[in-house]
Structure 1
Amino acid sequence: MASNNPAPETLYFPNDEALGFGGEDGGTFDEWNPTEESLRPVRGKHRVAKQRGGIARSSTVLGVGVIAAVGAGGMASAQAKPPVSISLPDLPQSVKDKLPDAEALPGVGSLISDIDGHSSSTGDTGAGVTTAALTTASSGSSDAGEALRTRILQQAEQQQGAVDDQAAIAAEKAAAAKAAAEASKKQDAAAAKEKAEKKKAEEAAKAKAEKERLAKLAAGYSLPVASYTLTSHFGDGGSMWSSGYHTGLDFAAPTGTPIKAVHSGTVKSAGWSGAYGYRTVIKLDDGTELWFCHQSSLAVSAGQKVSTGQVIGNVGATGNVTGPHLHLEVRPGGGDPIDPLTWLAGKGLNA
Structure 2
Amino acid sequence: MASNSPAPQAPAGPGYMSNGTRFGEDGGAEPATGEWNPSAETLLPNRGRHRVLRQQRRAFARSSTVLGVGVIAAVGAGGIATAQDKAPITISLPDGLGGTEDGAQNAGLATMGDTVTETATGEQSEADGNAGEALRSRILQQAEQQQAQAEAERRAAAEKAAAEAAAADALKASADAKKKADEAKKKAAEEAKKKAEAERLAKLAKSFALPTSSYNITSTFGSSGGLWSSGQHTGLDFAAPAGTPVKAVGAGTVKSAGYAGSYGYQVVIELNDGTEVMYAHLSSINANVGQKVVAGDMVGRVGSTGNSTGNHLHLEVKTPGGTTIDPGAWLRSKGLQP
* Residue equivalent to 1:333: 320
| Structure 2: unaligned runs, 5 residues or longer | 1-30, 52-82, 89-94
Shift of residue 134 of structure 1?
5.7
The answer as to whether partners of 1:255 and 1:314 remain within 8 angstroms in 2 is yes
Q: C-alpha distance in 1, partners of 2:317/2:147? A: 88
One-letter amino acid matched to 1:151:
R
Residue number among 128, 137, 141 corresponding to 1:150 in the alignment:
137
The answer as to whether partners of 2:213 and 2:240 remain within 8 angstroms in 1 is no
Does the residue aligned with 1:231 lie in a helix, a strand or coil?
strand
Q: C-alpha distance in 2, partners of 1:285/1:311? A: 18
Residue number among 182, 189, 200 corresponding to 2:169 in the alignment:
182
Q: C-alpha distance in 2, partners of 1:200/1:350? A: 25
User: Measured at CA, do residues 334 and 323 of structure 1 come closer, stay the same or move farther in structure 2, by a change above 3 Å?
Assistant: farther
* Residue equivalent to 1:79: none
* Residue equivalent to 1:166: 153
* Residue equivalent to 1:266: 253
One-letter amino acid matched to 1:340:
P
Shift of residue 340 of structure 1?
1.9
| 1:58 and 2:102 are equivalent in the alignment | yes
One-letter amino acid matched to 1:309:
G
User: Measured at CA, do residues 230 and 14 of structure 1 come closer, stay the same or move farther in structure 2, by a change above 3 Å?
Assistant: farther
Identity %: 49
The answer as to whether partners of 1:329 and 1:337 remain within 8 angstroms in 2 is yes
* Residue equivalent to 1:77: none
Q: C-alpha distance in 2, partners of 1:7/1:349? A: 166
Could you list the per-position Cα deviations for residues 265-313 of structure 1 after superposition, in whole angstroms to 9, with x for gaps in the alignment? 2333333433222332222233322121122333334443221111222
Q: C-alpha distance in 2, partners of 1:143/1:301? A: 133
* Residue equivalent to 1:277: 264
* Residue equivalent to 1:17: 47
User: Measured at CA, do residues 267 and 10 of structure 1 come closer, stay the same or move farther in structure 2, by a change above 3 Å?
Assistant: farther
Alignment root-mean-square deviation, CA: 3.7
The answer as to whether partners of 2:217 and 2:239 remain within 8 angstroms in 1 is yes
TM-score, normalised with respect to structure 1: 0.63
Q: C-alpha distance in 2, partners of 1:340/1:9? A: 166
Does the residue aligned with 2:324 lie in a helix, a strand or coil?
coil
| Structure 1: unaligned runs, 5 residues or longer | 22-39, 45-50, 66-89, 92-111, 118-128
User: Measured at CA, do residues 116 and 153 of structure 1 come closer, stay the same or move farther in structure 2, by a change above 3 Å?
Assistant: closer
Question: Taking CA–CA contacts closer than 8 Å with sequence separation of 6 or more, which of the two structures ends up with the larger relative contact order?
Answer: 2
Residue number among 184, 189, 192 corresponding to 1:205 in the alignment:
192
Q: C-alpha distance in 1, partners of 2:253/2:124? A: 131
One-letter amino acid matched to 1:330:
V
After the TM superposition, which of the residue ranges 133-142 and 159-168 deviates more from structure 2?
133-142
Shift of residue 221 of structure 1?
0.9
- Written as runs of structure 1 = structure 2, the 5 A alignment for 1:113-262 is 131=119, 137-262=124-249
After the TM superposition, which of the residue ranges 5-14 and 232-241 deviates more from structure 2?
5-14
One-letter amino acid matched to 2:195:
K
- Written as runs of structure 1 = structure 2, the 5 A alignment for 1:32-71 is 55-59=99-103, 61=105
Residue number among 33, 41, 45 corresponding to 1:6 in the alignment:
33
**Number of residue pairs matched by the alignment:** 265
| 1:316 and 2:303 are equivalent in the alignment | yes
The answer as to whether partners of 1:289 and 1:334 remain within 8 angstroms in 2 is no
One-letter amino acid matched to 1:17:
R
Q: C-alpha distance in 1, partners of 2:153/2:255? A: 90
Q: C-alpha distance in 2, partners of 1:262/1:299? A: 15
Could you list the per-position Cα deviations for residues 215-265 of structure 1 after superposition, in whole angstroms to 9, with x for gaps in the alignment? 212211111112222211122211111222212111122333321100112
Shift of residue 175 of structure 1?
1.3
Q: C-alpha distance in 1, partners of 2:174/2:288? A: 68
Residue number among 258, 281, 304 corresponding to 2:291 in the alignment:
304
| 1:348 and 2:335 are equivalent in the alignment | yes
TM-score, normalised with respect to structure 2: 0.65
User: Measured at CA, do residues 18 and 331 of structure 1 come closer, stay the same or move farther in structure 2, by a change above 3 Å?
Assistant: farther
User: Measured at CA, do residues 5 and 116 of structure 1 come closer, stay the same or move farther in structure 2, by a change above 3 Å?
Assistant: closer
Q: C-alpha distance in 2, partners of 1:316/1:5? A: 181
Does the residue aligned with 1:244 lie in a helix, a strand or coil?
coil
Does the residue aligned with 1:240 lie in a helix, a strand or coil?
coil
Q: C-alpha distance in 2, partners of 1:325/1:334? A: 27
